[in-house]
Amino acid sequence: MTETGETTDSCLICRSPTDPYFSKSYDGYPGSPFPQGLKVDYRRCGQCGFVLSQTHRALTPAQWEQLNASWHHHFESGPEARIVNQPPYADQALALRLLGANGLVDTGDALDYAAGYGTLARLLAKYFATPIAIFDRYVQSAAPGLTYVAEADLRRYRLVINSAMFEHVLTRAALDEVNALVAEDGVLMLHSVVCERVPPDPDWFYLKPIVHTAFHTNRSMEILMRQWGYAASLYAPQAKSWFLFKAGHPLLASLAQRAAALNAELQTRYLHHKPGFVDYWKGF
Ligand SMILES: [Zn+2]
């Protein structure tokens, strides 16, 4: 049991039993709550393949907070570190503009949730004249032109954008919070790594940041989508982003056709469509 009383051995996604999967030993670094290093144990769901760090889940809130703050400070404070391993913001902005211009997403009623310093919103406003609202519980930028929404003012939106958050969660509630903001006829745009099978390999690139705790699979995302009431998805490889469409979305029936039309216009397979979750990274 964790401090919050949740059992640690059932899957956050599908509630099936999980098994010990593998471990990784992280080195200590200046400012870490674990200066001697930390051995992290991961559990895997036998049903959907979702992998979660049991070790992170057992941390106290204070330890978890210090781990995040120190890690970001230690590894992301230099300008070079800020450039690597970031979401493809420019490509995400372009994808949003393309889908928006074709009526597939409503950028006029959009929120970037966990937007950090608002990089995507700044690009959308500057290069595409497409201002969107943003929310972040932990950081805010004072840069002009950004519209941070206060937590008390959050509502449902026809488009919710979420980048690089799904791999940092420790609870189901953190995931449900994002979905709860999406209107019943809306779209959730998601940037994260979703693979066919999480490799039990301590050297896997996605385990490099000690603050990555949750690893989603095509199957676990398919299940999550269904639980949340999404019926179909698009994937834009250039933007490394999925667009999940609620079952109540007005264009659901013509989604495949509209994606094909955009691909024809761009003369490339810009969008991949599937009823359910687009398992684009099948070989990974
Ligand atoms: Zn599962």
4 within some domain: no
pLDDT band at 76 (very low <50, low <70, confident <90, very high): low
Using an 8 Å Cβ cutoff, are 132 and 181 in contact? no
Same domain, 69 and 178: no
pLDDT at residue 1, as a whole number? 43
pLDDT at 222 over 60: yes
Run of H or E including 45: strand 38-45
Using an 8 Å Cβ cutoff, are 122 and 143 in contact? yes
Residue in the structure block whose two tokens are 């490339």 = 268
Domain boundary among 31, 60, 80: 80
Q: How close is the Cα of 9 to the center of ligand 1, in Å?
A: 11
Same domain, 135 and 266: yes
The range of the structural domain enclosing residue 256 comes to 87-275
The Cα-based distances of 161 to 4, 75, 100, 155, 199 in angstroms read 28, 25, 13, 14, 27
Q: How close is the Cα of 265 to the center of ligand 1, in Å?
A: 39
Domain boundary among 65, 80, 95: 80
Q: How close is the Cα of 20 to the center of ligand 1, in Å?
A: 13
Same domain, 139 and 227: yes
CATH code for the domain of 250: 3.40.50.150
Domain boundary among 35, 65, 80: 80
Run of H or E including 217: strand 214-217
Same domain, 161 and 72: no
Same domain, 57 and 197: no
Same domain, 53 and 114: no
Q: How close is the Cα of 18 to the center of ligand 1, in Å?
A: 8
Same domain, 73 and 108: no
- Structure tokens belonging to residue 132: 């969107």
Same domain, 28 and 150: no
51 exposure class (CB count in 10 Å sphere: 0-12, 13-18, 19+): buried
Same domain, 125 and 64: no
The structure's pTM equals: 0.94
249 within some domain: yes
Same domain, 127 and 237: yes
* pLDDT digit string, tens, across residues 6-63: 556 899 999 999 999 999 999 998 899 999 999 999 999 999 999 999 999 999 999 9
96 within some domain: yes
Q: How close is the Cα of 165 to the center of ligand 1, in Å?
A: 19
Same domain, 59 and 101: no
Same domain, 182 and 247: yes
Number of domains composing the chain: 2
State phi, psi for 248 to the nearest 5 degrees.
-90, 10
For the beta carbon of residue 117, count every other beta carbon within 10 angstroms.
16
Q: How close is the Cα of 7 to the center of ligand 1, in Å?
A: 14
Q: How close is the Cα of 100 to the center of ligand 1, in Å?
A: 33
Using an 8 Å Cβ cutoff, are 102 and 150 in contact? no
Q: How close is the Cα of 203 to the center of ligand 1, in Å?
A: 23
2 within some domain: no
47 within some domain: yes
282 within some domain: no
Q: How close is the Cα of 262 to the center of ligand 1, in Å?
A: 35
* Stretch 55-74: mean pLDDT: 93
6 within some domain: no
